[in-house]
Structure 1
């Protein structure tokens, strides 16, 4: 435990890269390294110019990029059993799979589409890499969870047809889909309606599959599985709220809520802690058995915190002035080895932090600071679900769908063939 805190408190920048086109960095994911067919050395970054960038984990050297999407990218994730496959979803109505062994290749190795009117706001792949799920934006009065079988022929330009959809569990844009880290049939989803739903996909209908519905009271920005048995959920909202639920209590009379705060900006900082202006994200640290939350301030500070049943506890702060100069959008902590932190933000910078590290001198890193691309791109503004970051502010306010479903096992229609 203490070793993790010591590492976090001693973090300093060792590498940085700035995108020449000044695109925002919206999401970052790390290639799994436990598979014998993967080195685990590739970082994938989703940018606001619709591109996906590949970087080396240790040097941040750009390895390549993909340019297939024509609208904002809503998320990226690597496969688990097939870690050389990178999955991305977009508002352009496509989910694409890319082979990172061929960076910069002409197109995706697999493409999934649903209804031509769908615009995707979230995406994920299950633990066995068999099921891909994407959440849609609200269309008229409907929003959908769309499912595909990833075992469809993975030929260039090949279009996989959906297995089916869920259509009754969310009443607004589905802003987050998150499969369980090891149970291939367990799925958590969050929406702009303020609801976080948990499904068991082994069941035959949407109504039967819905195990629990929790109300966050505000548009959901992030959902993360946590806990020793991965039976807890952390939810962050676009209004800077934080909610922590224990799904292990589903079959008991105990409340699911372990901790919750509607606006973390209003918290009185604990001794040794600091206030935050926004929450960047969260990650469960499996080896340390701790739930890490990263928050930031408008002055450029980044604060590392642990979420427990007692609230948010400070773990350390990253030095001001040396890091980001704008809002940080994404981060990840790699527990392998000595542990490293990666952050990306609206200043077009990707930073690598290591315990006790030292950043190369300006002369020594000039090549790293430049993107290999010589193309000049138009800056596309941030994805619409950014709230405090300058995008469209969404607030569920616990209304409509939230009040109706609360923490009940609500109903729904059967899985619809598409």
Structure 2
């Protein structure tokens, strides 16, 4: 086991009882954060200082944050107001440079970005018996470029583009399905190239070019081969891990992080005030390497860790959580896992459990 020590902590000047949903890289040296007060804030990676409010009211119910282009300082957000916005953090205007809206203003629960194809994608809540995946070209955003309206019959909680095949999109839903689409095909039935039945999807994505993971809201985890319709023969069987809480000695899974050294599961334990980053190794078959986990002692106290970012440039790990703080962590010795003064607030009386923006 390796240990990371907290080196900085910041509330990002949020008011009391607010908490931070997610952080994402805004540039090579800064991060963006969305919070329960619906703000979009930007802060420096070094010392978590120089906090600025890019938008005090980014959405009426902000739900999603993704990096669009870190080099160009472009950030995408989505909200329950049915809007997706693209923010240029260089211009200082505190306004979105692109803004699109879903059909019938359906609440946006997930967003994905592909700058190589100038694409924004959004997944919506179930409204009028439809949960929609919509695509826009940011160069002509007045109308959707493409919509898939039949592939899910419940809230679309996850979207992710393939790491190298920019025409391939993954979606996950509380209907239990993880879908893979070829987005160059407009006919929805033909565009759907793979369907995985997993259970109510909390997170899903690509572990690699040929592997897909799925994590349910009750912490059940599985890894599936990404099928290629042009290849003959049977694909390998999926690896079913079941409920991760007992084998990983945790209460919840915050997320999965993929970096240059491979993937890590971020497993939280509120009772023990800790977060573990546990390597997931592929050989000879997918398994957790608990002997080489990275522990963040103290984590965010008794509150849930909502987002983890592995920053290879600064050799740091950044976390945010329902205690309303962002924290930076460094290794006590050696190198950190690679991807992407201690202050505490009085504990609030209400027991929220895990906050779900959907």
Same fold (TM over 0.5): yes
Does 2:75 correspond to 1:99? Answer: no
Residues 280-359 of structure 1 correspond to what in structure 2 (within 5 A)? 280-286=254-260, 288=261, 290-299=262-271, 300-308=273-281, 309-314=285-290, 315-321=292-298, 323-336=300-313, 339-356=315-332
CA distance in 2, matches of 1:298, 1:252: 47
Contact 2:43–2:52 at 8 Å: present in 1 too? yes
Gaps of 5+ in 1: 32-38, 153-158, 270-274, 371-378, 395-418
**Structure 2 vs 1, CA of residues 57 and 106 (structure 1 numbering), >3 Å: closer, same or farther?**
closer
Q: Which has the higher helix share?
A: 1
2:62 to 73, 96, 100: 73
Does 2:225 correspond to 1:246? Answer: yes
Contact 2:5–2:297 at 8 Å: present in 1 too? no
Gaps of 5+ in 2: 334-340
Residues 243-282 of structure 1 correspond to what in structure 2 (within 5 A)? 243-248=222-227, 251-267=231-247, 269=248, 275-282=249-256
Pick 1 or 2: higher relative contact order, CA cutoff 8 A, min separation 6: 1
Contact 1:113–1:160 at 8 Å: present in 2 too? no
**Structure 2 vs 1, CA of residues 322 and 277 (structure 1 numbering), >3 Å: closer, same or farther?**
closer
Deviation digits for residues 191-227 of structure 1, max 9, x if unmatched?
01010001111123111111100011x2111122122
Q: Which has the higher strand share?
A: 2
Deviation digits for residues 112-171 of structure 1, max 9, x if unmatched?
11323311111111141511110010012111111111112xxxxxx6321231011111
- In structure 2, the partner of 1:27 is 22
- In structure 2, the partner of 1:179 is 161
**Structure 2 vs 1, CA of residues 73 and 194 (structure 1 numbering), >3 Å: closer, same or farther?**
same
**Structure 2 vs 1, CA of residues 121 and 256 (structure 1 numbering), >3 Å: closer, same or farther?**
farther
- In structure 2, the partner of 1:115 is 103
Deviation digits for residues 268-301 of structure 1, max 9, x if unmatched?
x5xxxxx011001012112x2x111110012211
TM-score (norm 2): 0.86
Residues 376-391 of structure 1 correspond to what in structure 2 (within 5 A)? 389-391=354-356
**Structure 2 vs 1, CA of residues 81 and 151 (structure 1 numbering), >3 Å: closer, same or farther?**
farther
1:222 to 203, 217, 221: 203
Compute the displacement of 1:82 (Å). Answer: 5.9
Contact 2:274–2:299 at 8 Å: present in 1 too? no
Compute the displacement of 1:60 (Å). Answer: 0.9
**RMSD value over aligned CA atoms?**
2.8
TM-score (norm 1): 0.74
Compute the displacement of 1:249 (Å). Answer: 6.2
CA distance in 2, matches of 1:266, 1:316: 16
Does 2:118 correspond to 1:144? Answer: no
